[in-house]
A and B are shown apart, each in its own frame.
Chain A
């Protein structure tokens, strides 16, 4: 079931197009991660959804209600949208204590006092903030501030919950933990979440589906595994994980050999024969061996990752990224033969 639908959305700042004919559907009860490089328009997208900024074109529908339709001149005020948002720097109100911060949305809505207290208490337990109601934001640790921001968003049980890089201020361990907690709360309350981040690991940590955004457009949406395994564009392949791009239009001998090998690895050769196509090969799909082979490279760099080793292999005039297990070690300068087991054809951009 679709909870929210964003259609043909466009937004300009002056002459600069920030959101470019963007379409996105968000399913009820899912966590959709929106990832993209800095400046691609993620925050702007969330702001349009929340009603904090307008758009030039398009519509936003949430739970069957049209929140924004430029064509029909509809724009629901942000306070009437039943959308909650957790901001990157939390945006806690410094002159309110924790209880006041969290209860604000209820107080503004005129929720009756005893009911309000009950909900706030429940929510504070949920995010494990018990006993902190009297503290002011500056008396809290970063993690606690994060929880207050989360609780503040949760009290109204929003139709849609927006996270804007909300975890990026936490250290890796803490982030991991928060991700798990949020996921648990999300499942408990059956929340629909749009989680914006530029950190793909953070995105993968919580998301059911992932949307890759670039230059104001969504380039690909899908479950995490699918997007990783079958990227449709060069941008997606390069942004989610690491990829070796191999093109068929090079005159270089090694490059042509790599191309022919990759085409075979990709399977359906007929389709890929067009020269403008590009193939993407994940580092773990490149196999290196000491035995002599058709394609030869030398080890240029090796980084030990604990459970894997990342190599950079000089093959002809280019570098190949390769990830192997820790069984076989190759010293710098060693000659290796290169093979590939999997490749996908992508659109270049």
Chain B
């Protein structure tokens, strides 16, 4: 962008930057600052409370165990997701396996299932009473012990199945872009196919694998819903659930210090991730190089496809089918016969005065407002950061995208600390929920629009100015139409994020402002609610798929991974 001196030329939106800066600082920075200060034992409102909460937290063996569990789970998930996603990606991108498109679509479908719902589905399958145990253990006596989903490994299983599509999509696009002539050169030099794979392709892909691995690692650390629904019944704590239980004991000091530990871990990994994104650019030198011959699987073609299909059945089709089936059952546990079917579960949701209806209504209202506010603020921030010369505009953008690194649980704790004391007391009202949703969504608004604005030649706007259009007219005629796809994508992403959000919802909701997340979470333990949860889940999945189709991302590798907020 050409530098412009403010006094010499109208920069348009400068007058609006004040309020926006205030909003961003107030909504994002202030709560996190409060969290930080509080965790240090500094309380602005009550100077009596002091003390090193960190020492408490760090000396508390339970926190340490939770930290260890978090790293174990995140590591395990990352490893499994890379093996699964990477293997599949290679098959799809580099071999002649049939029905590639089908595989891609199923994998993407997996990605659209909120992790919490995947967990519920797997409980349906793998719980003591679940389909699989009933078959393998009770009926066929295939295994000596019933499989136990309620373990750290259970969390790993579900989160890995939830995360591998991310790895798959990232690596498929990287493999397709990768310079295939390098591989051919290796073959010409006498390397066998496998040797070429391991000596050329794999090392070249390593930066991509590393960066998507870091992303999976960070998202797993931030995950709450799965860890709660699977880990809490048997007291297998990770950091997020530990924070949650501290909050439900109203033990704010412990919640705050644990939050800071989680924030630190997540922040470090996220920085590494960003760094890896930046440093790997030079790898894909020649993207126009000719398409390499796909590796021929020969007679393995069909068996390989059947294997992949079976695998995807286990990861996606069966859980999805189970959720859909359950959503039509009169009661969980009944067998799938026609006389046991009903659509009442759906009717209750849309049927007026039930909690489920209220939750839907609330969530959709929150999601709508949060997405709209995010889109507006995101547009303004992106514009300020790419099209003006205001001092500190890059910091503004940085602060606005910061919540990407902050797990929802931590955002909620920070919000409690920030908004609990007069005169800023909105804790206990729907406003705190709305505000925190906006904070959580802000990065997506900014990133989606920023990308487009950065890619858009400022000369297009200059051309309009020279043609006689005022700043405002230029914005309306040229800038806005060209960034609309980004605004739309940001809006839909935010909307869907709020709909399936769990930790912020359950930590901040107040009576009357229950949301879908609250509904899902409160029904987790009593199996009596599983049918309704499943119905809610089905509607959610339909909305998510529809949203992604609207953004045009369905089945395509995405540049920006969405945080799964559950």
Across the interface, do B481 and A95 meet the contact criterion of CB distance under 8 Å? Answer: yes
B463/A54 in contact, CB under 8 A: no
A54, B467: Cβ atoms closer than 8 Å: no
* Any B CB within 8 A of the CB of A13: yes
Which one, A86-94, A243-251, A254-262, is touching chain B?
A86-94
Q: Does A52 contact B (CB under 8 A)?
A: yes
A83 at the interface (CB under 8 A from B): yes
CB within 8 Å for A84 and B459 given contacts A53-B9, A75-B9: no
B467–A77 CB distance below 8 A: no
Partner of B457 from A78, A89, A105, A152 at Cβ < 8 Å = A89
Partner of A94, one of B467, B470, B482: B482
Contact A78 B2 (CB under 8 A): no
How far does the Cβ of B546 sit from chain A's closest Cβ, in whole Å?
A: 25
Binary per-residue interface labels of chain B (464-481) against chain A in the complex, 1 for a CB within 8 Å, 0 otherwise? 111111100100011001
Neighbouring B residues of A200 by C-beta, 8 Å? none
Complex CA distance for A81 and B4, rounded to whole angstroms: 17
B8→A75 contact, CB < 8 A: yes
Complex Cα gap A51–B9 (Å) = 8
Residues of B within 8 A of A77 (CB): 9-10, 465, 470
Q: Is there contact, CB below 8 Å, between A79 and B482?
A: no
Cross-chain contact B2 with A53 (CB below 8 angstroms):
yes
Whole-angstrom distance between the alpha carbons of A37 and B494 in the complex? 49
Are the C-beta atoms of A93 and B478 separated by less than 8 Å? yes
The reply to whether B459 and A87 form a contact with Cβ atoms under 8 Å apart is yes
Whether A54 contacts B459 by the Cβ 8 Å rule is no
**Assembly CA distance A54 to B7 (angstroms):** 9
Closest Cβ neighbor of B456 among chain A residues = A94
Q: Give the distance in Å from the alpha carbon of A77 to the alpha carbon of B474 in the complex.
A: 13
Interface SS of B by simple majority: helix
The reply on A109 being an interface residue by CB < 8 A is: yes
Q: Any chain A CB within 8 A of the CB of B3?
A: yes
Q: How far is the CA of A87 from the CA of B3 in the complex (A)?
A: 18
- The answer, yes or no, to whether B251 is at the interface (CB within 8 Å) is no
Contact of A108 among B10, B469, B481 (CB under 8 A): B469
Give, as a whole number of angstroms, the nearest-CB distance from B317 to chain A: 40
A78, A91, A104: the one contacting B459 at CB < 8 Å is A91
How distant is A159 from chain B, measured CB to nearest CB, in Å? Answer: 12
| Docked CA distance A93–B469 (Å) | 14
Say whether A156 faces chain B, with CB atoms less than 8 Å apart.
Answer: yes
A198 to chain B, nearest CB (A): 18
**Interface size of A in residues (CB-CB distance below 8 Å):** 30
Chain B residues within an 8 Å CB radius of A338: none
In the bound complex, how far is the Cα of B8 from the Cα of A47, in angstroms? 12
B455 to chain A, nearest CB (A): 11
Check: A50 CB closer than 8 A to any chain B CB.
yes
A78 to chain B, nearest CB (A): 4
B468: chain A residues within 8 A (beta carbon):
79-80, 105, 108-109, 156
Which residue of A is nearest B7, CB measured? A54
Q: Does A98 contact B (CB under 8 A)?
A: no
B148 interfacial by beta-carbon distance below 8 Å: no
Most buried by B among A47, A78, A156: A78
B467 touches A104 (CB 8 A): yes
Given A54-B4, A77-B10, A104:B481 Cβ within 8 A: no
Contact for B463 among A51, A75, A93, CB less than 8 A:
A93
Measured in the bound complex, the distance between the Cα atoms of B462 and A52 in whole Å is 7
Report the separation of the CA atoms of residues A152 and B460 in the bound assembly, to the nearest whole angstrom: 13
> What is the distance, in angstroms, from A2's C-beta to the closest C-beta of chain B?
22
Minimum CB–CB distance for B521 against chain A, Å? 44
Nearest Cβ on chain A to B486's Cβ, whole angstroms: 14
Please provide the chain A residues from 1 to 47 with a CB less than 8 Å away from any CB of chain B in the complex: 13, 47
Assess whether B553 is interfacial by the CB under 8 Å rule. Answer: no
A95 and B466 contacting across the interface, CB-CB below 8 Å: no
A313 beta carbon closer than 8 Å to chain B: no
Give A93 to B466 CA distance when docked, in angstroms: 13
| Residue on A nearest B462 in the bound complex, by CB | A52
Would you list which residues of chain B between 1 and 26 have a CB under 8 Å from chain A?
2-5, 7-10
Q: Which of A52-108 contact B (CB under 8 A)?
A: 52-55, 75, 77-81, 83-85, 87, 89, 91-95, 104-105, 108
- Which residues from chain A contact B460 at a C-beta distance below 8 Å? 91, 93-94
**Which residues of B have CB within 8 Å of A51?**
9, 465
Which chain A residues (156-187) contact chain B, with CB distance < 8 Å?
A: 156
In chain A, what residue has the closest Cβ to B460? A91
- Chain B residue numbers with a CB within 8 Å of A84 are 466-467
- B467 neighbours in A (Cβ, 8 Å): 79, 84, 104-105, 108, 152, 156
Shortest B16–chain A CB gap in Å is 19
B470:A85 contact, CB within 8 angstroms: no
- A109 contacts across to B, CB distance below 8 A: 468
Segment 256-275 of A: residues with Cβ below 8 Å from B? none
B452 to chain A, nearest CB (A): 12
Distance in Å: Cβ of B1 to nearest Cβ of chain A: 10
Within residues 415 to 464 of chain B, which ones have a CB less than 8 A from any CB in chain A? 457, 459-460, 462-464
- Inter-chain CA distance A109–B473, complex, in Å, is 11
* Chain B residues closer than 8 Å to A105, beta-carbon distance: 467-468
Residues of B within 8 A of A54 (CB): 4-5, 7-9
Measured between beta carbons, the chain A residues less than 8 angstroms from B470 are 77, 79
Given the known inter-chain contacts A52-B2, A94-B482, please indicate yes or no for A87 contacting B463, CB distance below 8 A: yes
**Given A53-B9, A54-B5, A156-B468, also A87-B462 (CB < 8 A):** yes
Known: A94-B482, A95-B481. A50 touches B8 (CB 8 A): no
A47 lies within 8 A of B2 (CB): yes
Cα distance A55–B3 when bound, in Å? 11
* Bound form: Cα–Cα A242–B379 in Å: 52
Q: State which of B3, B5, B465, B473 has its C-beta within 8 Å of the C-beta of A78.
A: B465
- Measured CB to CB, the nearest residue on chain B to A95 is B481
Q: Which residues of chain A are near B478, meaning CB under 8 Å? A: 93
A101 to B468, CA, bound (A): 13
CB < 8 Å neighbour of A91 from B2, B8, B457: B457
Tell me the nearest residue of chain A to B6, going by C-beta: A54
Q: Quick one: closest B residue to A13, CB to CB? A: B3
Q: Give Cα distance in the complex from A81 to B467, angstroms.
A: 9
CB-CB under 8 A from A80, the residues of chain B are 468
Return B474 CB to nearest CB of chain A, in Å.
8
Closest to A156 in B: B468
Q: Which residues of B contact A85 (CB under 8 A)?
A: 462-463, 466
Instruction: Chain A residues near B4: list those with CB within 8 A.
Output: 52-54
Nearest chain B residue, comparing its CB with the CB of A43 = B2
CB distance from B353 to the nearest CB of A (A): 47
List B residues 376-427 near A (Cβ within 8 Å): none
B108 to chain A, nearest CB (A): 28
- The minimal Cβ–Cβ distance linking B480 to chain A, given in whole angstroms, is 10
A91 vs B457: C-alpha distance in the bound complex, in angstroms? 8
Pick from B464, B466, B473 the residue with the most CB of A within 10 Å.
Answer: B466
Among residues of B, the one whose C-beta sits closest to the C-beta of A78 is: B465
Contacts of A108 in B (CB 8 A): 464, 467-469, 473, 477
Q: Determine which residue in B3, B4, B10 has the highest number of CB atoms from chain A within 10 A of its CB, and name it.
A: B3
Contacts of B466 in A (CB 8 A): 50, 52, 78-79, 81, 83-85
User: How distant is the Cα of A81 from the Cα of B463 in the complex, in angstroms?
Assistant: 13
CB-based nearest B residue for A52: B462
Nearest chain B CB to A48's CB is how many angstroms away?
Answer: 9
Residues of A within 8 A of B473 (CB): 108
Complex: chain A residue closest to B463, CB-CB: A91
Contact sample, A vs B, 23 pairs, CB 8 Å cutoff: A52-B462, A52-B465, A53-B4, A53-B9, A54-B8, A75-B8, A77-B465, A78-B466, A79-B465, A79-B467, A80-B468, A83-B466, A89-B457, A89-B459, A91-B457, A93-B460, A93-B463, A93-B478, A95-B481, A95-B482, A108-B469, A108-B477, A156-B468
* 11 additional contacts (CB under 8 A) given A52-B9, A109-B468, A156-B468: A50-B462, A52-B4, A54-B8, A55-B8, A77-B9, A77-B465, A87-B462, A91-B462, A94-B482, A105-B467, A108-B477
- Which 9 A-B pairs give the minimum distances between C-beta atoms? A54-B8, A105-B467, A91-B459, A54-B5, A78-B465, A91-B463, A108-B468, A79-B468, A108-B469
